[in-house]
Structure 1
Amino acid sequence: MTNPRIGVIGIPGKWSTEVLADALEKRTGFRCVVDMADTALDLQRRALMAGGQNLCELDGLVIKKISQEYSPATLDRLEMLRVAEASGVKIFSKTASILGLVNRLSCTVTLSNAGIPMPETVVTESPDEAMAAVHRFGNAVSKPLFSTKARGMTLMEAATPEADLKARITAFQAHNPVMYLQKKVNLSGRDLGMVFLGGEYLGTYARVAQTDSWNTTILHGGKYEPFEPDADLIELARKAQAPFDLDFTTVDVGLTEDGPIIFEVSAFGGFKGALEGASIDAAGLYAEHVIKKVQT
């Protein structure tokens, strides 16, 4: 196979989607960027159509972004891609791998079962249990099960008057029936993104808060900086991403007084942090990895 046809599932016009499509086009001469919102699955014909292109006829598909924001509908889009996968299209990363990550709880349970150190976490549908968790933690971060870049996350403080805290929990549960609460840990305004390609470590960048926001995400004003981890930290991140069998990912790591903890393993990984914080051309390296696997 000299010129494989490999498409990119993403958000047309978005930098990370387009830079990956550019890298693949440069190496193969083929370009196809697909927004899953524009696809149609025809099970009778076993066709997944995007405009005039049947994605089931491509050699490969790289999922850079399955949707702008995570939601249960994201899982439906992955189910549609399973048809292309069953037709012989190589998907990066595999749909089964991503299905185990889009839901925050699924990711957390897998990490916990693997013995990976994480912040203390309580998951409940009971407002009373949620209240008890906040008091036990001192401060807790309530997180939607489907979200990216800290969207929808809320800081719950035990010092809040009881009636006000109960109201905050009720308001959060109105949009999140199953409540996921994690103990807020002191990160001194910095956390890490550790980048892996095909299970191999590439490098690390730091996200550093520039404001008084309790989180470090770029969405909330953080910036990327270089960071050099030691061998033990690299090994911890490697163990964290291993159960998910991903082609490309970023492991989110926090450094605390009690040692490193893992927040999550990304379903898709971040290109911009790798480039700006660690000088890694993740898009180019990923494109070469995908082409090699498609051709074997």
Structure 2
Amino acid sequence: MKITSLLYHDVVTEGNFEESGFMGNGPNSYKLDETSFCDHLSKAAGNLKGQGEFFKTFLRNGQVESHDIQLITFDDGGVSFITRIAPLLEKELIQGVFFISTKFIGQKGFLNGDQIRSLAERGHIIGSHSHSHPERISALTYQQVLNEWKESKVILEEILGEEVNTASIPGGFFSNEVARSAQEAGYKVLFTSEPTNTCYYIGDCMITGRYSIKRGDSGNKAEQIVKGSAIFRIKQFLFWNLKKVVKKVLGDSYLSLRKKLIK
């Protein structure tokens, strides 16, 4: 089984980055304006329609008829999930997978509990993006990461009144300990930020990657990824693995360097 997932964050009006989600040059570099996002959807919609139902079936049953699922996912929990993104997805009959950092629920620029519940009632999929969105989750102790996953799961399940069994890793800081703790917390599918559609298991938790989209990326990029273009996928894979080496070598210094480079 393969899962090809696009990774987005917020959608805002041109230049109004404070509308939704986390603030700062780093988070803002992942926020698309609505015109750009509509272009992405128009080009990728044909491959994404109805795919969310396959994913729901897999989460329920652990198996699915389709052996290649294509998804569109969104990280952080910004209010644009419901004010801008969901209505645009629904026009195209697409279900989004929305990952929520639960510490920020109800804060300015973020979804509240009623809005999260509404997204689920409208057919979208809700998952955890950790509780506090640590800058470098892989640097925490195993128990700290486990607490992040567990607390987020409890909060979301109280809001939704149903099991939450999928999650995504904040910041792309994957480690085997992060994955094992997600599995221990009860998640069935964990999304990384590694640009791959290959799936594998740690315990009974499936690990799968995503292809990240940033502000300035063309709709053609999204289209080519969901249509299986080897060129686009290989370019992202090579860049990601180069960045992974830099992260490992620099450790915490990577975060400071990244902030300076995107000012």
Task: Give the number of the structure whose alpha-carbon radius of gyration is greater.
Answer: 1
TM-score of the superposed pair, with normalisation by structure 2: 0.31
Which structure has the higher relative contact order (CA within 8 Å, separation 6+)? 2
TM-score of the superposed pair, with normalisation by structure 1: 0.29
More helix by share: 2
More strand by share: 1
